[in-house]
Amino acid sequence: MTAPTTATDVNQPSLEHAPKTGRRLSLPVLMLIIAGALALTSIVRLVTGADGITNVSQMSTALQLAVPIGLAGLGGLWAERAGVVNIGLEGMMILGTWFGAWAGFQWGPWTGVLVGLIGGCLGGLLHAIVTVTFNVNHIVSGVAINILALGATRYLAPLAFEGHQGGSAKQSPAVESLGHFTVPGLSDWLTDLNAKGWFFISDIAGLLGGLVTNVSWLTLIAVALIPGTWWILWRTPFGLRLRSCGENPVAAESLGVNVYKYKYLAVIISGGLAGLGGVFLSIVANPFYLEGQTSGRGYIGLAAMIFGNWMPGGLAIGAGLFGYTDSLNLRGGSTNVHALLLLGALLLIIGAVWLAIRKKYVQAAVTLVVGALVFAWYAGTNEVPSQVVAATPYVVTLVVLALSAQRLRMPKADGMPYRKGQGK
């Protein structure tokens, strides 16, 4: 005889109750794919002579640029797992940059981190009030918060920063550094190994060297939040209740879950994480607030979350990819992007072969033609225009989302209106 379902069932964080999220790659398969991509990149490096695409400095810069994208993506994940679409991540990041720099130059960088996080939480609270309590369309609310955050910081910046040394209507005074660390011995050894230019081994050394060279303490916190989010949302009763609000809030309410409370908590945490990403930009990446310094990273973070299929691990890979392409703007952009045209052509050709094996002949033909055009672009030029280099992160965002769209599975109730007691 089957036991009746009770309110205590929702407290058990087991796979039996967790919603299925579509097909997932096993860890060994994922590691093989990553290793294959790195090997292909190594071949391209040897063929083109563009050693900069996998050196330690490039990887260190990529990590620094990936952190704010990853934090924004984590913010989106928390909100959408509870059923609230958060297009306002960009605005919450803007609040984080301003509040972090404002508090940081007056009371120190760690105070700036805390105040910037609170600034993002305020944006999240506003989004929660509008969407959860008043049931306003989530997209409309998010866009409004982006506009409001930009306007508010433009108004506050002259009042707070003008008259201080280094401050202006668009820039804050310098903020003291949080500090960086380098793992002694290991960093030098990996740098030397990377400089030898060996196939695959030097590329792995460059990747690992970037993770232990000139790393900010805030970067460590951000990286730790990835497994921390996974553990909280998928291995605790709190996480199970929160995710149930994004899958079926009516059923969750029938089992005793306070859906409003969990949606509020998720969106406030979402804003705090986005604000922390903004703090990283105004205290770590640049030691001052600068108008427009988010540069759309909130939207790219949202794209990284979607690419990662609303999972922390996939989000981290997406943030790393977008951070790497963004880093090409700073270090030998034209040469490196030109070399990556060859990598893109090879990946498209491999994709065409894979599609043909799966008997998707039309898609395979289209992919092969695109791959041939990219290869022709590479073979017929020696460098790419600076405008292409600047647009690379956004182009990669669009391409990755287009290629991964078929395997995505968002929470079932994501963005859907909900009223307390509607299931009665």
Considering the domain architecture, whether residues 338 and 252 belong to the same structural domain is answered as no
pLDDT of 90 reads 97
As for how many domains the chain has, the answer is: 2
- CB atoms near residue 25 (< 10 Å): 13
Considering the domain architecture, whether residues 397 and 303 belong to the same structural domain is answered as no
Judge whether 228 lies within some domain: yes
What's at 148, amino acid-wise? L
Residue that terminates a domain, selected from 330, 353, 370: 330
Residue that terminates a domain, selected from 307, 330, 353: 330
Judge whether 200 lies within some domain: no
Q: Which domain holds residue 257?
A: 58-178+216-330
Entry field: residues in the chain: 424
Nearest to 115 by CA among 126, 92, 95, 99: 99
Considering the domain architecture, whether residues 169 and 144 belong to the same structural domain is answered as yes
pLDDT of 134 reads 94
Considering the domain architecture, whether residues 281 and 237 belong to the same structural domain is answered as yes
Q: Is 92 helix (H, G, I), strand (E, B) or coil?
A: helix
Judge whether 259 lies within some domain: yes
pLDDT of 23 reads 53
Which residue has 């990853």 as its token pair? 70
Judge whether 43 lies within some domain: no
pLDDT of 404 reads 65
pLDDT of 168 reads 92
Considering the domain architecture, whether residues 299 and 324 belong to the same structural domain is answered as yes
Judge whether 20 lies within some domain: no
Rounded CA separation 424/419 (Å): 11
Considering the domain architecture, whether residues 283 and 375 belong to the same structural domain is answered as no
Considering the domain architecture, whether residues 312 and 343 belong to the same structural domain is answered as no
Considering the domain architecture, whether residues 324 and 341 belong to the same structural domain is answered as no
The neighbouring-strand residues paired with 171 are 290
pLDDT of 9 reads 42
Considering the domain architecture, whether residues 369 and 231 belong to the same structural domain is answered as no
Considering the domain architecture, whether residues 280 and 235 belong to the same structural domain is answered as yes
| pLDDT by 10-residue block (mean), the chain, 424 residues | 41 40 62 86 90 88 94 97 96 97 95 97 97 95 96 94 91 92 90 92 92 92 95 96 95 93 97 97 93 92 91 91 83 77 89 88 90 92 80 76 72 89 65
| Dihedral pair phi/psi, residue 413, rounded to 5° | -100, 15
pLDDT of 184 reads 87
Residue that terminates a domain, selected from 297, 330, 363: 330
Considering the domain architecture, whether residues 98 and 155 belong to the same structural domain is answered as yes
The neighbouring-strand residues paired with 180 are 216
pLDDT of 423 reads 58
Nearest to 316 by CA among 65, 73, 61, 79: 73
